[in-house]
């Protein structure tokens, strides 16, 4: 009888814990300070779960007409197109239950999307309306990988010349470089602990803030850092994010916005938040967390406040400076809008 009672209590505690994970009490309305102060709108999305179901809201991008493209891993609607007020304009699907990485590319007068699917491993170029235009070759088929090497691409970045860089973040941790026709150029990185190696190369971006010398920013998530490479794959240095597990960097207005899927304890729920890096790649703001420094001013830890986000997977910023936050494993919530104040 006592055992049954203890099991019952344990079950209630477990259910309460799981409920807390799925429906945390997020009460904060204002985040940040100065030029990075926002008002949080958690009811920005105007669609319904019946019409536009989601599992995880993985990433968002914005086109020249200020339409937002939300990538989800729900096979019914992998891409949901919205205006800046959160109204759904369109939706379409690749019938993928693993759609993960989303990049928007401008090519002359047109724009296209690159979508990664790590679970049915492929990297697809589509029109803004969902028409498939190109699929990059599998690295096994072109001799870049040998048998037994996993391939699970998570993100792409495209240079001004049109070269496509694929982060094999859930696979063998290489960055695969292709030209704009899809011809393989090289691979670099790979799993390891050496400076030029990667450990969960989840996200990638082209940092062109110095126009004459663009570089690649590659997240090495389990190393809690972003590693910088030349566009030819030469390792340069790293940006330390101690305690943070970064998804991908997003460059806007001379700053780098980095979504942290976790921080502190890797398994702690609701531990994601956002950090902002300045022109020198130093943390200048945290949204939903805090940065701690030692007596010499060195960054030693990034910690969440557990009261604003679950696991931040991406951030998108519109021309007015408003931000849109995508979250993973967050109870199927739609993106939040952070309205710039």
Predicted structure pTM score: 0.91
Taking alpha carbons only, the member of 139, 151, 137 closest to residue 182 is: 137
Question: Cβ distance 272 to 309 under 8 Å?
Answer: yes
| pLDDT, average across residues 295-300 | 96
Of 4-18, 245-259, 320-334, the poorest mean pLDDT is in: 4-18
pLDDT in tens, 215-228: 999 999 999 999 99
For position 28, what pLDDT does the model report? 59
Question: Cβ distance 229 to 175 under 8 Å?
Answer: yes
**pLDDT > 70? residue 134:** yes
**Which tokens in the block code for residue 187?**
């691979």
Question: Cβ distance 66 to 318 under 8 Å?
Answer: yes
- Domain range 29-340, CATH class: mainly beta
The model's confidence at residue 67, banded by pLDDT at 50, 70 and 90, is very high
| pLDDT, average across residues 149-160 | 98
**pLDDT > 90? residue 24:** no
pLDDT in tens, 85-119: 999 999 999 999 999 999 999 999 999 999 999 99
Residue 46: CB atoms within 10 Å:
13
**pLDDT > 70? residue 19:** no
For position 22, what pLDDT does the model report? 46
For position 18, what pLDDT does the model report? 42
For position 56, what pLDDT does the model report? 97
For position 14, what pLDDT does the model report? 39
Of 54-68, 103-117, 171-185, 266-280, the poorest mean pLDDT is in: 266-280
Taking alpha carbons only, the member of 183, 169, 178, 268 closest to residue 226 is: 169
For position 150, what pLDDT does the model report? 98
Cα 182 from chain centre: 24
Which DSSP string corresponds to 208-244? Answer: -SSTTS-EEEEEEGGGTEEEEE-TTS-EEEEEE-TTE
**pLDDT > 90? residue 6:** no
The domain spans of the chain are 29-340
The model's confidence at residue 264, banded by pLDDT at 50, 70 and 90, is confident
């Amino acid at each position: 009888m006592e055992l049954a009672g203890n099991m019952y209590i344990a079950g209630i505690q477990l259910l309460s814990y799981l409920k807390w994970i799925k429906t945390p009490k997020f009460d904060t309305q204002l985040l940040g300070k100065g030029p990075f102060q926002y008002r949080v709108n958690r009811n920005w999305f105007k669609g319904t779960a019946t019409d536009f179901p989601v599992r995880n809201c993985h990433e968002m991008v914005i086109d020249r007409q200020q339409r937002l493209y939300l990538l989800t891993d729900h096979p019914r609607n992998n891409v949901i197109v919205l205006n800046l007020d959160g109204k759904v304009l369109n939706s379409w699907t690749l019938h993928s239950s693993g759609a993960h990485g989303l990049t928007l590319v401008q090519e002359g007068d047109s724009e296209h999307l690159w979508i990664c699917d790590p679970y049915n491993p492929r990297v697809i170029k589509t029109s803004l309306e969902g028409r498939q235009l190109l699929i990059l070759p599998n690295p096994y088929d072109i001799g870049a990988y040998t048998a037994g090497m996993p391939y699970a691409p998570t993100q792409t970045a495209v240079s001004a010349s049109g070269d496509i860089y694929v982060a094999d973040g859930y696979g063998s941790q290489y960055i695969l470089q292709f030209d704009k026709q899809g011809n393989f150029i090289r691979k670099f990185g790979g799993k390891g602990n050496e400076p030029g190696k990667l450990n969960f190369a989840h996200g990638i971006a082209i940092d062109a803030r110095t126009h004459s010398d663009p570089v690649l920013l590659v997240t090495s998530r389990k190393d809690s850092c972003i590693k910088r490479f030349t566009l030819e794959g030469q390792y340069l240095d790293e940006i330390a994010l101690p305690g943070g597990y970064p998804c991908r960097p997003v460059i806007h207005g001379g700053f780098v916005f980095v979504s942290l899927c976790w921080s502190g304890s890797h398994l702690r729920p609701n531990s994601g938040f956002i950090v902002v890096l300045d022109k020198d790649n130093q943390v200048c703001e945290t949204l939903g967390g805090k940065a701690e420094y030692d007596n010499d001013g060195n960054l030693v830890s990034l910690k969440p406040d557990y009261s604003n986000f679950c696991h931040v997977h991406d951030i998108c910023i519109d021309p007015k400076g408003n931000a849109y936050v995508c979250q993973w494993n967050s109870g199927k919530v739609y993106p939040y809008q952070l309205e710039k104040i």
